Chains A and B, each alone.
Chain A
Amino acid sequence: MMKVSYFPGCTLKTKAKQLDIYARACAEVLGVTLEELPDWQCCGGVFNTSKDEIATKLSAVRALSAAGKAGQPLVSICSACHNVLKQTNAAMQNDSEFASHVNHYITQTGQGQMAPYHGETTVLHYLELLRDVIGFDKVKSCVKYPLTGKKIGAYYGCLLLRPSSVMAMDDPENPQILEEFIRAIGAEPVIYAMRNECCGGYMTLEEKSLAQKKSTAVLDNASSAGADLLVTACPLCKYNLDKNGQNPLPVVYFTELLAEALGIKEA
Chain B
Amino acid sequence: MQRIGVFVCWCGSNIAATVDVHAVAEAARHEPGVVFSTDYQYMCSQAGQNMIIEAVKEHHLTGLVICSCSPRMHEATFRKTAANAGINPYMVEIANIREQCSWVHKDMAAGTEKAIILAKAAIAKVHLNTALTPGESKVTKRALVIGGGIAGIQTALDIAEAGFPVDIVEKEPTIGGKMAQLDKTFPTLDCAACILTPKMVDAAQNENIRIISYAQVEEVGGFVGNFHVKIRKKARFVNEDVCTGCGLCTEKCPQKKVPNAFNLNMDNHRAIYIPFAQAVPKVAVIDPNYCTMLKTGKCGVCAKVCTAGAIDYKQQDQIIEEEYGAIVAATGYNPISVEKFDEFAYSQSKDVITSLEFERLTNAAGPTAGKLLRPSDGEHPHTIVFVQCVGSRCAANAAKGKEYCSKICCMYTAKHAMLVRDKYPDTDVYVFYIDVRTPGKNFDEFYRRAVEEYGVHYIKGMVGKITPENGKLKVQGSDLIADKQLHIDADLVVLAAAIEPDKSARPLATMLTASMDTNDFFTEAHPKLRPVESPTAGIFLSGTCQGPKDIPETVSQASAAAAKVIGLLSKNTLKGNPCVAQSDEWMCNGCSSCANVCPYGAITYENKEFRMPDRSTKVRRIAKVNPAVCQGCGACTVACPSGAMDLNGFKNNQIMAEVDAICK
Contacts and interface: CB of A to CB of B under 8 A. Distances in A.
Interface string A9-41: 000000000000000000000000000000000
Contacts of A111: none
Contacts of A173: 340-343
Interface string B317-355: 000000000000000000000011111010110000000
Q: Which of A174, A194, A217, A225 has the most CB of B within 10 A?
A: A174
Interface centre among B340, B400, B465, B469 (most CB of A within 10 A): B469
B19 interface: no
A61 B468 CA distance: 42
B345 A193 contact: yes
Given A173-B343, A191-B348, 20 more contacts: A171-B340, A171-B342, A171-B400, A173-B340, A173-B342, A174-B339, A174-B340, A174-B342, A192-B348, A193-B345, A193-B465, A193-B466, A193-B469, A194-B465, A197-B465, A220-B469, A221-B467, A221-B469, A224-B469, A225-B468
A59 to B, nearest CB: 32
B658 to A, nearest CB: 45
B289 interface: no
B340 A194 contact: no
25 contacts: A171-B340, A171-B342, A171-B400, A173-B340, A173-B342, A173-B343, A174-B341, A174-B342, A191-B348, A193-B345, A193-B348, A193-B465, A193-B466, A193-B467, A193-B468, A193-B469, A194-B465, A197-B465, A217-B467, A220-B469, A221-B467, A221-B469, A224-B469, A224-B470, A225-B468
B156 to A, nearest CB: 42
A194 B343 CA distance: 9
Contacts of B468: 193, 225
Contacts of A192: 348
Contacts of B345: 193
Contacts of B341: 173-174
Interface in A170-206: 171, 173-174, 191-194, 197
Contacts, number: 31
Nearest to B396: A165
Interface string A111-154: 00000000000000000000000000000000000000000000
A194 to B, nearest CB: 6
Interface in A86-104: none
Interface of B: 339-343, 345, 347-348, 400, 465-470
A191 B345 CA distance: 10
Q: Chain B contact residues: over half helix, strand or loop, or mixed?
A: mixed
Contacts of A194: 465, 467
**Looking at A193, A217, A220, A224, which has the most chain B CB atoms within 10 Å of its CB?**
A193
A194 B469 CA distance: 10
Contacts of B348: 191-193
A192 B343 CA distance: 10
- Pick the 4 closest A-B CB pairs, nearest first: A174-B342, A193-B467, A173-B342, A173-B343
Nearest to B345: A193
A132 to B, nearest CB: 19
Q: How large is the interface on A (under 10, 10 to 19, 20 to 34, 35 or more residues)?
A: 10 to 19
A199 B568 CA distance: 66
A193 B469 CA distance: 9
A173 B340 CA distance: 8
Contacts of B466: 193
Nearest to B339: A174
Nearest to B397: A164
A224 B466 CA distance: 15
A186 B341 CA distance: 27
A193 B341 CA distance: 11
B652 to A, nearest CB: 46
Contacts of B400: 171
A226 B469 CA distance: 11
A193 to B, nearest CB: 4
A221 B468 CA distance: 8
A192 B400 CA distance: 21
Nearest to B343: A173
Contacts of A220: 469
Contacts of B347: 191
A220 B469 CA distance: 8
Nearest to A197: B465
A105 B343 CA distance: 43
Nearest to A224: B469
Nearest to B341: A173
A224 B465 CA distance: 17
Nearest to A174: B342
Contacts of A191: 347-348
Contacts of A217: 467
B450 to A, nearest CB: 29
A67 to B, nearest CB: 30
A15 B612 CA distance: 89
A132 B348 CA distance: 28
A137 B173 CA distance: 43
A225 B468 CA distance: 9
A31 to B, nearest CB: 33
Nearest to B467: A193
Contacts of A171: 340, 342, 400
Contacts of A221: 467, 469
B467 to A, nearest CB: 4
A78 to B, nearest CB: 25
Nearest to A193: B467
Contacts of B339: 174
Contacts of B470: 224
B344 to A, nearest CB: 9
A197 B342 CA distance: 12
A174 B468 CA distance: 15
B385 to A, nearest CB: 15
Contacts of B469: 193, 220-221, 224
A21 B404 CA distance: 50
Nearest to B340: A174
Nearest to A195: B342
Contacts of A197: 465
A183 to B, nearest CB: 17
A69 B158 CA distance: 73
A119 to B, nearest CB: 23
Interface string A211-222: 000000100110
B418 to A, nearest CB: 29
B217 to A, nearest CB: 35
A220 B347 CA distance: 19
Contacts of B343: 173
- Most B Cβ at <10 Å: residue of A173, A192, A221: A173
A191 B348 CA distance: 8
